Amino acid sequence: MVKRLKVLLAVVMSVALIASSSFCVLAEEDFDPALYDYNVMLNGDYVEFSDAAPVNVEGRIMVPFRVILETLGATVSWDDPTRTVTAALDDTTITFVVGQPNINIDKAGEKSVKKMDVVPYINPANNRTYVSTRFVAESFGFNVGWDSEMATAIIIDYDTIFGSAAEDFTEMDAFMQSTKVDMNATYESLISAVVEISIYKEMINSLVGETLFNKDLSLEIAVDGEAITKGDEVSLDMGMSMNLDELLSALPADAVGELTAEDKAILDTLSDMEISAYAEMESGEMCFTTNMNSMIDPSLGDDVWFKMNLYDIYESIGLDLGAMMDSALTAEITSMEDTLDFIAEMSEETMTIYTYDEMVTVYDLLKAMIGDDALKVSKSGAATTYTADLSGIGDYIGYDGIKGKLVMTDRQNGNYDCVMEIVMDIEGLGEISMSIDASYDKTDKAVEKVPAGAQVVDISSAITDVL
């Protein structure tokens, strides 16, 4: 029994290592130690305050106004009789008065007022005038976040990273313009995917601590699905099968033991899984049913639907998914520049001291994959095909031996196809290969909701309790 558990744990750990190693994990650079109890970082570098450190007042990081404004690049003036600060940067001028909550903003002649929740004040201990980092930075159009673990306010000027997107992605912009979604139309998405994972026998044997495997372990997963979307509604029918034959044949019988009838029933279900789902993205409500219902709860039939609210679940772990989806549904994204602006806006929820360098790497990776210098464009009749070589990904995520391609075919009138093939040989662990074939077409089909009269079980609270 001990040996069986040991083998199974080794297999699980190996699959986890292969899977985690296949994702793009951007290297976190070693930053200098934090300078103060509370810090400010601009575009990946700590801001130095020579004689007046940042302080936390009612949850706002307050800093000496002149240092922060000049670090942002603004020209700053101080009117002593009225205690008024004026700062100008590019086409924006802001003014505020010490002791008053309003920031007056003049952006290219368009005027507005923001009210600060912590007013600027003079600290009698050092005679420095303090102002909220977030309010002054956002008034000039910078994105601001908070790394609570590092007690650091993060300021990023995304124009320094994404500013040349309009020139770097003209071909992708043409594809996005031609295939933009009509929110009033209904679309059918068909997807077929195959994932093959091979774990080197040496890896398993090293985890087990003895030579038990004479050949590599292989697992194949195939997915076929259809999604119907209209506006914020989507329905999904998906089948997933796992070919476990090679995996089971590689497991030593004396280590794993004979499969019980229950084991075989579970494996049969895993070999041919089915799921149907319906989601309404405005509310975050999702319902699904599977042919594994009885495995989840033996008292339930396979015709039972489970209900959850995705936004409540994500909120329980501190992520406002609802706001993100609302922004995604209402945003007019028709270019890479729009896409990157959306990414910048969404990043504020999860910024860390590493975000700036990660975004630089992401942009460089996108250019290397789908930038104008990387994409190959060809035409055949009314169709335009865009081909990207994915083999250069390894230069950015630290892995060699990555090969693959992405092919997108614009068939006009909002219809297109995507094919992706990628193989990753992860040294010492194994190999993972993926092939994905998807199509996107306007359709007369309707989004399929939960059948009338179906039994629906709400599992939202159970999931949030676990999280």
- Please check whether residue 272 is in contact with residue 241, taking contact to mean a CB–CB distance below 8 angstroms: yes
What DSSP designation does 435 have?
Answer: E
What DSSP designation does 451 have?
Answer: P
Residues 6 or more apart from 185 whose CB is under 8 A from it?
230, 414, 442
Return the structure tokens found at 232: 């914020």
Query: What is the CATH architecture assignment of 39-149?
Result: 2-Layer Sandwich (3.30)
Interatomic CA distance for residues 74 and 93, integer angstroms: 9
Domain boundaries of the chain, sorted by first residue: 39-149, 167-466
Interatomic CA distance for residues 3 and 10, integer angstroms: 10
- Please check whether residue 173 is in contact with residue 335, taking contact to mean a CB–CB distance below 8 angstroms: yes
Residues 6 or more apart from 156 whose CB is under 8 A from it?
42, 43, 142, 143, 144, 145, 344, 347, 351, 355, 356, 359
Q: Which residues of the chain have pLDDT under 50?
A: 1-9, 12, 22-29, 31
Q: Exposed/middle/buried for 211, CB within 10 Å: 0-12, 13-18, 19+?
A: exposed
- Please check whether residue 227 is in contact with residue 278, taking contact to mean a CB–CB distance below 8 angstroms: no
For residue 220, list its beta bridge partners. Answer: 196, 243
What DSSP designation does 35 have?
Answer: S
pLDDT digits (tens, 9 = 90+) for 371-382: 999 999 999 998
The helix/strand count (H/E) of the chain reads as 17, 25
Interatomic CA distance for residues 115 and 104, integer angstroms: 9
Return the structure tokens found at 323: 């706001």
Query: What pLDDT shows up at residue 397?
Result: 66
- Please check whether residue 161 is in contact with residue 341, taking contact to mean a CB–CB distance below 8 angstroms: no
pLDDT digits (tens, 9 = 90+) for 300-335: 776 789 999 888 877 776 666 666 666 555 556 788
Residues 6 or more apart from 407 whose CB is under 8 A from it?
385, 386, 387, 388, 417, 418, 419, 420
For the question of whether the overall pTM of this predicted structure is more than 0.85, the answer is no
Interatomic CA distance for residues 218 and 184, integer angstroms: 44
Query: What pLDDT shows up at residue 23?
Result: 46
